[in-house]
Amino acid sequence: MRGSIGVRKRWLLALLGIMLVAASCAADDGASDTAASAMGEAQTAQSNAEVALADAQAAAAKAREAQAAADTAAAAAALAQATAEGNQAAVAQAEADLAAAQARSDAAAAQAEADQARGAAEAAAEAAAEAEAAATAPEPMDDAEEELILTVGVPADIQTLDPCCTNFIRGHEAQLIVSDTPVIHPIVEQDGSLVAVADQLAPVYFESWTESADGLTYTVKIRQGVTFDDGTEVNAEI
């Protein structure tokens, strides 16, 4: 009986280790997804702001160009009137005003062209960056091909953890077997502890494993279709 209780405690450690690490994986994945989403939204907002600024600058340049053209037309009309009146002083002033208006009009037109060219260059650069990001982005993994990696803590006296065929864990007196429909059978005792019966054959729930440097922790790849006895799939959301 004492040996059975000891085995149950070790099973409790292993099963609780799976659940705790799975919850941690889910939290890490959620935080990573949230950060990536926030960064993507920020980049989109920045891109939209840059486009809006370029549009505003182009509109302002067009307005300056229109105002300069209006000033030039007004100066030309003033010159024509002064010439018709024969007022030489007024003619000289009108000619000077017309020359200044034409200079402003030319400058405004040049600025509008420069703003338009800069906007086109920025749009091209943005399109190229988006194309590059789309080309380098990793393709989403098919659900059927997704690998779930969990780290499971095990007692220090473990010697063998063989995922193939029959597994013997020395010191535990527990045996695991491979099954076509692998299932973990957690049993809840009256005190609420999650344990497993020592003499019960439980199907293997992982395909492969990697031992850590400390020899106490193993990273395992959960087999596809592994579920708890209530039908809940064993994944990072558990």
Averaged confidence pLDDT in the chain: 59
Q: What is the Cα–Cα distance from 144 to 227, expressed in whole angstroms?
A: 16
- Greatest mean pLDDT range, 17-31, 39-53, 192-206: 39-53
- Using the structure block, give the residue that is written with the tokens 């000891």: 6
* pLDDT in the model for residue 169: 32
Q: What is the Cα–Cα distance from 193 to 187, expressed in whole angstroms?
A: 8
- Greatest mean pLDDT range, 60-64, 153-157, 223-227, 228-232: 60-64
Instruction: Count other C-beta atoms under 10 Å from residue 102's C-beta.
Output: 16
3 state SS of 46: helix
pLDDT tens-digit map of 115-143: 777 777 777 777 777 777 767 666 655 55
pLDDT tens-digit map of 197-214: 333 434 445 566 666 676
Q: What is the Cα–Cα distance from 197 to 189, expressed in whole angstroms?
A: 10
Residue 48 has pLDDT above 60, yes or no: yes
Task: Considering only residues 234 and 171, tell me which one the structure prediction assigns the higher pLDDT.
Answer: 234
Asked if residue 154 lies in contact with residue 211, where contact means CB atoms within 8 angstroms, the answer is no
* pLDDT in the model for residue 103: 81
The fraction of the chain above a pLDDT of 90, given in percent, is 0
Q: Return the minimum-mean-pLDDT range out of 33-37, 64-68, 93-97, 167-171.
A: 167-171
Residue 229 has pLDDT above 70, yes or no: no
pTM of the shown model: 0.32
CA 230, 206, 168, 12 torsion-angle sign: negative
Helices 2-85 & 88-136, crossing angle to 10 degrees?
160
DSSP 8-class letter at 180:
S
pLDDT tens-digit map of 142-201: 554 444 444 444 333 333 433 333 333 332 322 333 333 334 444 444 444 333 433 343
Task: Pull the structure tokens for residue 223.
Answer: 């087999």
